[in-house]
Amino acid sequence: MPTFRAPRGTRDLLPAERAAFTKLESIGRDLGRRYGYRQIETPLFEQVAVFERGIGEVTDVIEKELFRLAARSDEGEAWALRPEATAGIARAYVQHGMHTWPQPVKVWLTGPMFRYDRPQAGRYRQFWQWDVEAIGDPGPAVDAELIELGARFYREAGLDDALLLINSIGDAVCRPAYVAELKAYFREHIAGMPEVERRRLESNPLRLLDSKDPALAVLQARAPRITDRLCPACAEHFAAVLGHLDALGVGYRVEPALVRGLDYYTRTAFEFYRAGAEGQQQALGGGGRYDGLIELLGGRPTPGIGFALGLDRVILALGDSASQEEGASPLAVIVGAEPAATAERLRVATDLRGEGLVVRADLSARKLGRQLESAARDGAHFAVILGDELAAGQVQLKDLQAGTQRPLPLADVARELRRADASHHHG
């Protein structure tokens, strides 16, 4: 066992896996461009209050999973690592007066998030999200636009079976009465409920609907449904979102038990799952509308909607097909007849790299034959051989694939390699 290991629930992304993440990030970047979202970056940590107020104090994310940073006595502020991106982006919206920008403000962000979760496959303490937000548009059309964007991400990533579950969880007009009804319903059946769920009944009763505890399954199935209790404005909004999704040909399943784990949601709520794994804990992504969040963080009342997908989970779902070609082989390796002349080989390689070419210098003290073997093993197309004639500005260019060799002025090597590279890629 090595002395030091990455902390529990975190992992190293070794180059092959990092390349798979980079591929997903470039899909996100390209979709952002096509859909008119601009990239934004917020700090990896914020004042704790940003998360507590935004996400809700009585949520698992805040109560159990927040990575709090020890407050430093000189600043007296309590910080926490971000468990998600939305609260920080909403804080930035208010701080920078983005309500004066053209609305909606459409942004995306990708980066690591931190939750002190119990680690397992697909559930990490540091994980990566691609997050998109459209702030300042009450919908319903923008809801559908954003959801379609999410569905497209999975398709472009190669996951054709991502399934969309959608619900409306009402707003300040209709939700309080529904929550009261839900509480009364579960209270009647409290005898059959485990202790944790009884506590939830008081603190966050909506979460009883998507609790995975099998003891609740029958109660959940018979519970009153928010979808049947929406006020006219919410019902109309929800119907319009579904109508727009229909018009876009985006498939979905209305899931009345979908309530999401963060308190800021209003109206539209949705999640993506792998077909066959829907409703389990491992969502591929999720989001919803948060029409009260900006105001909670000190801004004026501003509607918003967004979603985030877990890059780690997309990669897990893709399995082997996620792995990317590792860094391409060098076009050429600079080798030399004089093993000790590493400065010479390095200088030639450096000049060629300056010309934009992908080359490696053999920095070993091996004999020329060994250097050439190693270049071939690397998959290099050419070896540039430096010898005595370098003093006269001449080198040998060996085509390792064809097995041919010819002398060439050093000054022509870059042009020659570039020409061979171009005909190799486009020929």
Binding site for ligand HAM (CB under 6 A): 84-86, 115, 117, 122-124, 127, 129, 131, 133, 261, 283-288, 290, 306-310, 312-313
In terms of CB distance, is 56 or 330 closer to ligand HAM? 56
Smallest gap from Cβ 305 to ligand HAM, in A, equals 7
- One-letter amino acid at 190 equals I
Residue 366 CA, distance from chain mean position: 44
Tokens of 54: 């935004």
Smallest gap from Cβ 88 to ligand HAM, in A, equals 10
User: Which backbone phi and psi does 46 adopt, to 5 degrees?
Assistant: -140, 170
Smallest gap from Cβ 147 to ligand HAM, in A, equals 11
In terms of CB distance, is 84 or 362 closer to ligand HAM? 84
User: DSSP label at 271?
Assistant: E
Smallest gap from Cβ 211 to ligand HAM, in A, equals 16
- Nearest C-alpha neighbor of 287 from the set 267, 301, 316: 267
Smallest gap from Cβ 101 to ligand HAM, in A, equals 18
- DSSP string across 92-113: HHHHTTGGGSSSSEEEEEEEEE
In terms of CB distance, is 93 or 124 closer to ligand HAM? 124
How far is Cα 195 from Cα 289, in angstroms, rounded to an integer?
31
In terms of CB distance, is 272 or 382 closer to ligand HAM? 272
In terms of CB distance, is 17 or 117 closer to ligand HAM? 117
User: Which backbone phi and psi does 425 adopt, to 5 degrees?
Assistant: -80, -30
Smallest gap from Cβ 244 to ligand HAM, in A, equals 18
Tokens of 153: 């991400």
Smallest gap from Cβ 161 to ligand HAM, in A, equals 15
In terms of CB distance, is 29 or 198 closer to ligand HAM? 29
Smallest gap from Cβ 86 to ligand HAM, in A, equals 4
How far is Cα 92 from Cα 417, in angstroms, rounded to an integer?
49
For 121-159, what is the HEC assignment? CCECCEEEEEEEEEECCCCCHHHHHHHHHHHHHHHHHCC
CA-CA distances (angstroms) from residue 334 to 343, 349, 376, 382, 397?
Answer: 11, 6, 12, 9, 10
In terms of CB distance, is 309 or 375 closer to ligand HAM? 309
In terms of CB distance, is 134 or 333 closer to ligand HAM? 134
In terms of CB distance, is 127 or 252 closer to ligand HAM? 127
- Nearest C-alpha neighbor of 395 from the set 374, 411, 380, 378: 411
In terms of CB distance, is 287 or 303 closer to ligand HAM? 287
Long-range pairs of 355-360 with CB within 8 A, sequence gap ≥ 24: 355/414, 355/418, 357/331, 357/332, 357/414, 357/417, 357/418, 357/421, 358/328, 358/330, 358/331, 359/330, 359/331, 359/332, 359/333, 359/334, 359/384, 359/417, 360/330, 360/332, 360/333, 360/334
In terms of CB distance, is 147 or 283 closer to ligand HAM? 283
**With contact defined as beta carbons under 8 Å apart, do 62 and 114 qualify?**
no
Tokens of 391: 């003093």
Smallest gap from Cβ 79 to ligand HAM, in A, equals 18
Smallest gap from Cβ 321 to ligand HAM, in A, equals 18
- DSSP string across 79-96: EEE-S-SHHHHHHHHHHT
Smallest gap from Cβ 265 to ligand HAM, in A, equals 7
Residue 216 CA, distance from chain mean position: 32
